[in-house]
Chain A
Amino acid sequence: MLPVYICEDDEQIRKAERLYLEKQILIEDYDMEIVLCTGSPEALLDCLEKDSRQGVYFLDVELKGASMDGFRLGQEIRKRDARGFLIYVTAFADLAFETFRYHLEALDYICKENPERMYQGLSRCLKSIVARVERERGEQQEYFTVKTLDVVRHIPLDEILYFTTAEGTHRIALHALQERLEFIGSMQELEKRLGEHFIRVHRAFLVRADQIAQIDRKSHELILKNDERCPYSRNMRKRLLEGAAVQAQN
């Protein structure tokens, strides 16, 4: 059961939101319940202290008379519920949504200027939340989680090609199929943390074993499945060739 929270300073709109959401949950038989409908961010946060479930939050951006705005409230909610769904309901279409999505992983935003569009938005959000919960339940994807300054990124482990040392102290560059990023870390720690799927083929390279396509013995380089190359040290050659032989047999 997903708890649903509404935080909106305008009583009229709050009521309308609540009524519509209740109706939708009933009609579509969603596994959700409205727990709280309030104009005060503190009340919402207090309520979260007692409830640690993944929740759905419909938040106003400008909360008049409250101690924090919707963005701050989102940050506070994220501290308590990292996986919850944040939806912003706003009076102006010029919401900085990219920023909200980037920092708060906000799911969507809804314009409340026009009731029809607001209702459409609410049911769209409910639908996509249900779909997402369904998807996550079946998913067995493992992620590599890394924090760079103020964001945490999750990269699917099986999309990672290799880690390598980058210029600068303790800098590691991560090369993935669709991503490239740098962070602070150490090769030893990574090697320990990632386990057997990754091989330290070189002092400066930690490669995901199943991304290796070929071994170029002339240039002492591994050719990865996306045609990237990385060097391997001489004392790794035997182990790599053995691994290749095992793969070939399979």
Chain B
Amino acid sequence: MKDWQYFWQITGTNMQAEIIPVICTLWMARIILGEVPDRTKAHIVRSALACLIIMAVLASTGAVCYITGFWDWQHYTGELIWEYFTLLCVMLLLRFAWRTSTRNCFLAVLMVEILCSYGIFLSGLYNYGTVYDLSVPAQRRSYLFWLLVIQPLVLLLCGLVIHISGMGRVYRQWLEQETIHKGILCLLVLYPVFDHLVQRIFYEKDPTVSHLLLPLLLLLLIHLIFVYVGRDRQQKQAIIAQQASLQQQTIYIEKMEQIQQELRSFRHDFKNMMAGMYLQAREGDLDAVQDFIQEMTGDFDRQVGGQIQLLNQLGNIHMLEVKSLLLDKLSRMQQDRIDCELEVLNPFEATRMRSTDLCRCLGILIDNAMDEVRGRENGKISLMISSLDGCTTFRIKNTLYGAVDFGRMEQAGYTTKGAGHGIGLENCRRILAKYDFVFPFTAVQNGYFVQELKIQE
């Protein structure tokens, strides 16, 4: 009976003690993972409930561990297992709230753990060397002041620094990669072990050294990881850029060969026509000569003009990624026999939007247009890129054959096609949500569907 009372008492205290760490953890997780995607009231209530349940589980298991002496196991094994258990619980909570993959959640939790312990170590510098005697009221007060004010403040500061420095974004980018380097994964996963080791090696010998060394070591470690990741990324991007430029050159050469072919056949026709025209001119039939000249210019436009025009427009795009994307889409449209026009009046150099995000969005919008027009009669797609007066506009216009349900368009899975389509627009909306300087526009105008991205440069 007495045990039960003891258990409830400890559980209650644990619950109280968990409040600040949980708030910190959630806040840091938000910095790292970005905003919760589903922000409906129902989901937030559900997440809050899940949070309470996880807190209760942690508090009660903590009490059990305390009573049974689990934490005093040899070589810190008890503590380590406990730590992984906590990480797992928090991971489940994040997984529930953010609904991203388990791997990403777990990595985010580890990162939060590193950040929090870093903050706590830093705050430890405040009272470093002092040992509180909690039975003395004055000392208890100063301990509580440290616990409830200094520590959260330092954590807040750490979070702010990370938020402002944009580390969250870098981390998210890193999480977006499909394969994450195994070495880094191991380092991160083994962090609690590493933490204990450092503490054990240094703390038992000289507590002062551990207090100063640990934050430094951690900082260095995190820094190294990101430098490594950054370089790795850069290298990969360089390779991708090279491949893209190679692919572009191939397509260019193909196009040039096509033009050459067409010029050759035109030259052949041209000779025949000239012979015919010569005869007619000699007979004095001026009307026929005029007709000939017109026919000839028309033929030239049809056979060669279009291709040259397209290459001219493509030549105005100086952003490699966008050019590759368009070349790819244009050649696909040619395969599918979709009539397409491209207009790039002024040279398009660069944009503030991240190129991967821009390409993903443009890809989605162009695919939508292609899906609508493919296989239909008289369908046409007009693409326009316009850089003018500090502002870049991407405009995709296609013939529309049915009605567009604007009300449902932005919901996940809206499509006028069969299964497998329709995740596009939702993705596009999600990508654009993080840009303050991009303005999307969608409309039906005179039987055309118009999709537009406007970027303030």
Residues of A within 8 A of B (CB): 71, 93-94, 96-99, 102-103, 113-114, 148-151, 153, 167-169, 171, 175-183, 224, 226-228
Contact = CB atoms under 8 A, between A and B. Distances in A.
A226 B345 contact: no
B341 interface: yes
27 contacts: A94-B312, A96-B313, A97-B343, A98-B382, A98-B397, A99-B345, A103-B388, A113-B297, A149-B391, A150-B388, A150-B393, A150-B454, A151-B393, A153-B441, A167-B433, A168-B433, A169-B436, A175-B406, A178-B443, A178-B444, A180-B410, A182-B439, A182-B440, A182-B441, A224-B407, A227-B407, A228-B406
B78 interface: no
B309 interface: yes
A226 B301 CA distance: 46
A127 B259 CA distance: 39
Nearest to A181: B441
Interface in B391-405: 391, 393, 395, 397, 405
B386 interface: yes
A71 to B, nearest CB: 7
Given A98-B395, A102-B386, A148-B454, A181 B301 contact: no
B384 interface: yes
Given A98-B341, A98-B397, A93 B301 contact: yes
Contacts of B445: 178
B309 A94 contact: yes
B389 A150 contact: yes
A179 B391 contact: no
A178 B433 contact: no
Interface residues of B, number: 37
A3 to B, nearest CB: 28
Interface string B438-457: 01111111000000001010
B260 interface: no
Given A169-B436, A181-B440, A99 B384 contact: yes
Pick the most buried of A94, A169, A228: most chain B CB atoms within 10 A of its CB. Answer: A94
Nearest to A224: B407
Nearest to B293: A114
Nearest to A226: B407
Nearest to A148: B439
B294 interface: yes
Contact of B442 (A71, A99, A151, A181): A181
B22 interface: no
Contacts of A183: 439
B305 interface: yes
A167 B440 CA distance: 12
Contacts of A97: 343
B409 interface: yes
Given A94-B312, A179-B442, 14 more contacts: A96-B384, A98-B341, A98-B395, A98-B397, A102-B393, A149-B391, A150-B388, A150-B389, A168-B436, A175-B407, A178-B443, A178-B444, A180-B441, A181-B443
B309 A181 contact: no
A169 B294 CA distance: 57
Contacts of B405: 226
B305 A94 contact: yes
Nearest to B441: A181
A71 B345 contact: yes
Contacts of B384: 96, 98-99, 102
Pick the most buried of B389, B441, B456: most chain A CB atoms within 10 A of its CB. Answer: B441
Contact of A114 (B294, B312, B344, B441): B294
B345 A96 contact: yes
Contacts of A96: 313, 343-345, 384
Contacts of B406: 175-180, 226, 228
A204 B313 CA distance: 43
A93 B305 contact: yes
A149 B456 contact: yes
A18 B207 CA distance: 95
A118 to B, nearest CB: 12
Interface in B262-306: 294, 297, 301, 305
A98 B439 contact: no
Given A148-B454, A149-B454, A103 B444 contact: no
Contacts of A179: 406, 441-444
Contacts of A181: 439-443
B451 to A, nearest CB: 10
Contacts of B456: 149
Interface in B90-145: none
Given A71-B345, A226-B407, A180 B436 contact: no
Contacts of B444: 178-179
Contacts of B439: 148-149, 181-183
A97 B342 CA distance: 10
A59 B393 CA distance: 24
A224 B436 CA distance: 29
Kindly list the 7 A-B residue pairs having the minimum CB-CB distance in the complex, ordered from nearest: A228-B407, A96-B343, A179-B443, A94-B309, A181-B441, A178-B444, A180-B442
A181 B409 CA distance: 13
A131 to B, nearest CB: 15
A167 to B, nearest CB: 4
Interface in B412-457: 433, 435-436, 439-445, 454, 456
Pick the most buried of B301, B344, B406, B440: most chain A CB atoms within 10 A of its CB. Answer: B406
A226 B441 CA distance: 19
B37 to A, nearest CB: 11
A77 to B, nearest CB: 16
Contacts of A169: 436
A99 B454 contact: no
B435 to A, nearest CB: 8
Contacts of A227: 407
Contacts of B382: 98
Contact of B395 (A102, A153, A224): A102
Contacts of B454: 148-151
